[in-house]
Amino acid sequence: MARECVKRGGTILNYFEVTGLLKNDSGKITGVSAIDLDTGGKYDILSKLVINATGVFADEIHRMDDPLARPTIRPSQGIHIIIDKSFLGGNSAIMIPKTDDGRVLFAIPWYDKVVVGTTDTPVDVVNDEPKALEEEVNFILNTASKYLTKKPTRSDSLCIFAGLRPLAANPDNPEATKEVSRRHKITLSGSGLLSIVGGKWTSYRRMAEETIDKGIKSGILERKKCMTRNFRFYSNEAELKSDRLKIYGDQAAEIEKMIDDKPELGELLDTRLPYTKAEIVWICRNEMPLKLEDILARRTRALFLDAGASAAIAPVVAEIMSQELKTDVKWAEDQVKEYNQLLLNYL
Ligand SMILES: Cc1cc2nc3c(=O)[nH]c(=O)nc-3n(C[C@H](O)[C@H](O)[C@H](O)COP(=O)(O)OP(=O)(O)OC[C@H]3O[C@@H](n4cnc5c(N)ncnc54)[C@H](O)[C@@H]3O)c2cc1C
């Protein structure tokens, strides 16, 4: 999405944090103050409309608009555990709609692993690195043991990760999460802050379309025909040698060409992970990574597929990044140290 936005004339500011909202004398929002987390540079950015689409952090932005703003998000933690595919004993996903204690559990094949989840734990504090609770880990391992071909234990977990769902709070029962609607809410404040809260990945295009429609109806944005309804990010028409690279659509041909030109780039970085050096180089050139974590956790899914294996490839990936992004050796060493610290949350 970010790449496509740039291709069509948008500007993406990676590692920029909004620290405040700019307002004119009549209290209408005219833009944002932001800080470049990479350089520390501070900027005021003017705009016709500010859209708050910050997920679980939405209320921080609401409080920048109005310090007394009521909470609109009821964060709910969900964790997932990754184990080897042999535990599933087949290629089909399992869905247990009602566990003994009335919850839902699923096990889904993912590359050569299985992702087992999830939980629904209301939390009061929103932070960047939520941590799985013992109770959540035990629930998943114990329940999954009843349905998988082998009983997974804690030491079989290749990665344990937690996330916060940005559920839209129910103003009549702000504590609830399971009962809370998974639907999204769009609001426009008196000062002109347009917010989209709640919702799901599955419905993100509809959420985006309705948000823009609201901006048009309120007279802030110009009316234009929707161009994303049938929009395709990728075409999958290129003939590829590798099925694995299909996630890149036609662009996979560029990665295959790199491997054809330099076959050593086609070797797996680690047999436990489905990634080669070629992808890392291609990602550095095309997907705007700034930190080692960007590549290992977000551009690839190495961290989530196998946290230990991701640590093993971290030095090589940092070295490739350092060459591609033209940084010094110390930068690569610092990145590996920082990554190893982050990793502790996932083991
Ligand atoms: C356990 C779990 C299970 C889920 N299951 C499903 C599912 O089954 N189906 C489904 O469709 N979806 C599912 N989801 C997805 C989910 O519910 C949301 O749709 C998604 O996580 C929210 O995406 P988002 O873009 O709104 O927020 P995020 O992905 O959190 O994006 C918000 C962005 O705002 C940025 N930001 C925050 N504050 C600032 C600031 N001050 N300045 C600049 N940037 C800022 C953040 O850095 C972040 O990049 C699940 C999520 C979890 C955690």
201 and 320 together in one domain: no
Please report which confidence band the pLDDT of residue 180 belongs to, taking 50, 70 and 90 as the band edges.
low
Please report which confidence band the pLDDT of residue 206 belongs to, taking 50, 70 and 90 as the band edges.
very high
**Residue 184 C-alpha to ligand 1 middle, in angstroms?**
12
C-beta of 17 in contact with ligand 1 (< 6 A) = yes
In a domain, 223, yes or no: no
Cβ-proximal residues to 62 (8 Å cutoff; 6+ apart), any chain: 52, 69, 72, 189, 193, 195
Q: Alpha-carbon distance 135 to 148, whole Å?
A: 20
Residue ranges of E strands in the chain: 16-23, 29-36, 42-46, 50-52, 73-84, 94-96, 105-110, 113-117, 121-122, 159-168, 184-188, 193-198
- 94 strand-pairing partners: 107
Q: What is the pLDDT of residues 300-317, one digit of tens each?
A: 999 999 999 999 999 999
Q: Which of 40, 14, 11, 39 is nearest to 288 (CA)?
A: 14
Please report which confidence band the pLDDT of residue 176 belongs to, taking 50, 70 and 90 as the band edges.
low
pLDDT at 328 over 80: yes
Q: What is the pLDDT of residues 67-92, one digit of tens each?
A: 999 999 999 999 999 999 999 989 99
Cβ-proximal residues to 20 (8 Å cutoff; 6+ apart), any chain: 32, 33, 64
Q: Alpha-carbon distance 269 to 251, whole Å?
A: 20
In a domain, 88, yes or no: yes
Report pLDDT for 168.
87
pLDDT at 178 over 70: no
Q: Alpha-carbon distance 15 to 257, whole Å?
A: 31
CATH value at residue 258 = 1.10.8
In a domain, 43, yes or no: yes
35 and 151 together in one domain: no
Structural domain harbouring 335: 244-346
Specify the number of domains making up the chain: 3
C-beta of 315 in contact with ligand 1 (< 6 A) = no
- 77 strand-pairing partners: 121, 164
57 and 178 together in one domain: yes
Mean model confidence pLDDT for the chain: 93
135 contacts 79 by C-beta, under 8 angstroms: no
Q: Which atom of ligand 1 is nearest to the CA of 163?
A: 53
CATH value at residue 115 = 3.30.9.10
